Amino acid sequence: MSARIADVFRRLKTTGRTGLVTYVTGGDPDLGRSAEILWALDRAGADVVEVGVPFSDPLADGPVIQRASERALAAGGTLTSVLQLIAKARAGLRAPVVLFTYANPVFRMGAEPFAARAAAAGVDGVLVLDLPIEEAGPLRQTIVNAGMDPIFLLSPTTTDDRLRQAAELGRGFLYGISRLGVTGARDQVASGASALVARIRAVSSLPVAVGFGLSRPEHVREIGKCADAAVVGSALVNMIAQAADSEDLIPAVERYVAWLRRDIDRGARGATTVA
C-alpha cells in the first residue's frame, strides 16, 4: 500500500474523523492555476487529492466534469501534462494524490511507461474508471510494481463476486459510488450508500470512500456514519468554473473545502484517540 494513503487512513481511524477526498480535473481552468488549486486543496485540509485526466469521451462524468475536461483539453491538457502538473505540485502537497483516468490514455502511453512516469511524478494511487475488473490484472500488477495503489470503483449494482475481486485486487482504499448514473451534485445522499458500504466491508478490510452527488458538510457528515471518507467532485469543479475568471479563485477553493470540513472537524475534537 502507498505509504501516504496508508498514513492518511490510519490517522483518520485514530482520530475518529471522516476523511475528505477532493476531485478536480487536471488542467482546469488552465495548467498554471491547476497547480495552485492542488496546493489550495491541501492547505484547506483535503485528506486525499484526486486529479482527473481530461478525456474527450467520458462514460461516468456528468455535464460539470465533462465541461471541465473540455476546458482542460482546450488548454492543452493531456495525460502527459497532468503527470507534469502533479510532479510540479507534489513537493508542496502533504496529501496523497490519486490519478483518476480512463483506460484509453493509459494504453496509448503504454502500461509500463505510464506506471513509471506516474510513480516518478508522485502519484500514490490510480483509478482507471472503465477498465473491467476481470481484465485489470496485468495493469494492476504494473501499478503495484511501481509502488502505487490500484483503486477500484464499486456501485450499488456490483455483484458480490466482483466485490470480492475488487477486495483481492484493490489497495489503498475502495471507492464506492452512492448512486447509479453520472457524476453531479445532488440535494441528498443516496439512500443505498450505507448498504453498499456494508456489502464492501463484508468482503474487505480496506478503507472505503464514497462519492457521487456529495456537495455539502451535511453530506460529508452523513457518509461518515458508514464510510471512512467522503468524495466531493462535481460541486468543487463547478465552483472552480464559476470563479475561474476571478482573482478570488484560490481563496474560494480554500473556503469551500474548509466549509465541507466544518462538521467533521467538530466531531474529531470530541473523538477518543487510540494507540
Active-site annotation holder among 28, 61, 149, 263: 61
Nearest to 163 by CA among 171, 152, 148: 152
Asked whether the bond before 29 is cis by omega within 30 degrees of 0, the reply is: yes
Rg (CA), the chain: 17
Active-site annotation holder among 47, 50, 228, 263: 50
C-alpha dist (Å) from residue 51 to 11, 27, 89, 223, 266: 22, 9, 12, 21, 27
211 DSSP β-pair partners = 177
What is the DSSP code string of 166-216?
A: HHHH--S-EEEESSSS-----SS--TTHHHHHHHHHHH--S-EEEESS--S
How far is residue 186's CA from residue 10's CA, in Å, rounded to a whole number?
30
Nearest to 214 by CA among 240, 185, 177: 185
Is 61 a known active-site residue?
A: yes
Is 50 a known active-site residue?
A: yes
- Spatial CB neighbours of 91, under 8 Å, sequence gap ≥ 6: none
Which residues belong to the active site? 50, 61
